[in-house]
Amino acid sequence: HPSNHQMEESSILRRASCRAKGGAPGFKVAILGAAGGIGQPLAVLMKMNPLVSVLHLYDVVNSPGVTADVSHMDTGAVVRGFLGQQQLEGALTGMDIVIIPAGIPRKPGMTRDDLFKINAGIVRTLCEGIAKCCPNALVNLISNPVNSTVPIAAEVFKKAGTYDPKRLLGVTMLDVVRANTFVAEVLGLDPREVDVPVVGGHSGVTILPLLSQVKPPCSFTPEETEYLTNRIQNGGTEVVEAKAGTGSATLSMAYAAAKFADACLRGLRGDAGVVECSFVASQVTELPFFASKVRLGRTGAEEIYQLGPLNEYERVGLEKAKKELAGSIHKGVSFIRA
């Protein structure tokens, strides 16, 4: 009997020839940390994305089971599993987008920065692999603390001579997803109608929702502004406490990561006007990295938008955000340079 592997290879060849005849384009996506709390539901959502033709699921544990399971879904993407460091090259070679939710999550009482010790090294190793095997891939970095792991990734790529700031994207989409939800609740609207820019970074006071720029245009009382800003800044902690030691946001994060990756894929395809918030190398403030709206195109973050007019409350928030961000960025950069 032919093996699953032989059948899969022939299926890929047939699909490639279908594409050559003008069939739908497809992109190759890898998830690193695919057996985790985020990784598993994210694998399901990416397997459902019609823009994905090949889905690589990499982890240091349990990826064969997740791969067998997800591969039975009757959607287009071919799924392949990779287990352990010695299979990292295979997981990464040829990828268009690499999504990284690898690393430990918070427990109650911890800050995201408490994850630095372990996650910094994980992100370094994975990014060294990317530099070697798929230096042109877009990287969607989820592992915390994002405010430091993105600078770490940038330094690894610089060292390897492969750094392109347009292709390194810190995922802050969950902050936007939460902001849309909480603002919609206050306004009595469907969250799908609401668009809240969230800028700065992804931790505590560095998460800066711009409530003065909400669409559709609206206004908030000072109490509403205070309530919404705090709830958005502490959304992660709200979930960590509710999960009581078993982890942090995984399901809403998988949703947010899939939404962000889909925007990246539409950008790669050449769609016009794809704009999302992301933590990227930036000249919007004096800091080397900052989250703001970016336009996603064929080469990644092709345009980074200015913050626009801020009110007094937001200007004060911006100063606090920048102070904390500066330290987190420095910590990430020093981890590689030292």
Strand partners, 138: 97
Among 55, 177, 240, 254, binds ligand LMR (CB under 6 A): 240
Among 43, 249, 280, 291, binds ligand LMR (CB under 6 A): 249
> Between 30 and 268, whose beta carbon lies closer to ligand NAD?
30
Beta strands 27-32 and 52-59, pairing class = parallel
Q: Examine residue 216 and say whether the peptide bond preceding it is cis (omega within 30 degrees of 0).
A: yes
Rounded to an integer, what distance in angstroms lies between the CA atom of residue 13 and that of residue 273? 33
Of the candidates 322, 303, 324, which has an alpha carbon nearest to the alpha carbon of residue 314? 322
Q: Are 291 and 201 in contact (CB under 8 A)?
A: yes
With CB atoms as reference, the residue minimizing the distance to ligand LMR is 236
3-state secondary structure 192-215: HHCECCEEECCCHHHEEECHHHCE
In three-state secondary structure terms, 298 is coil
> Between 67 and 248, whose beta carbon lies closer to ligand NAD?
248
> Interface residues for ligand LMR in 137-166 (CB under 6 A)?
144
CA-derived radius of gyration, the chain: 20
Among 98, 171, 214, 318, binds ligand NAD (CB under 6 A): 171
When CB distances are held under 5 to 8 angstroms depending on the partner's kind, the choice from ligand NAD, ligand LMR, none that residue 240 binds is: ligand LMR
Q: Is there binding between residue 197 and ligand LMR (CB under 6 A)?
A: no
- Residues in Cβ contact with 4 at an 8 Å cutoff, skipping those fewer than 6 apart: none
Among 61, 242, 251, 316, binds ligand NAD (CB under 6 A): 61
Among 47, 56, 112, 124, binds ligand LMR (CB under 6 A): 112
Of the candidates 213, 187, 181, 220, which has an alpha carbon nearest to the alpha carbon of residue 199? 213
Q: Is there binding between residue 174 and ligand NAD (CB under 6 A)?
A: yes
Binding site for ligand LMR (CB under 6 A): 105-106, 112, 144, 174, 235-236, 239-240, 248-249
The contact set with ligand NAD (CB under 6 A) reads: 32-33, 35-39, 59-61, 101-106, 115, 119, 122, 125-126, 142-144, 146, 171, 174, 202, 247-250, 253
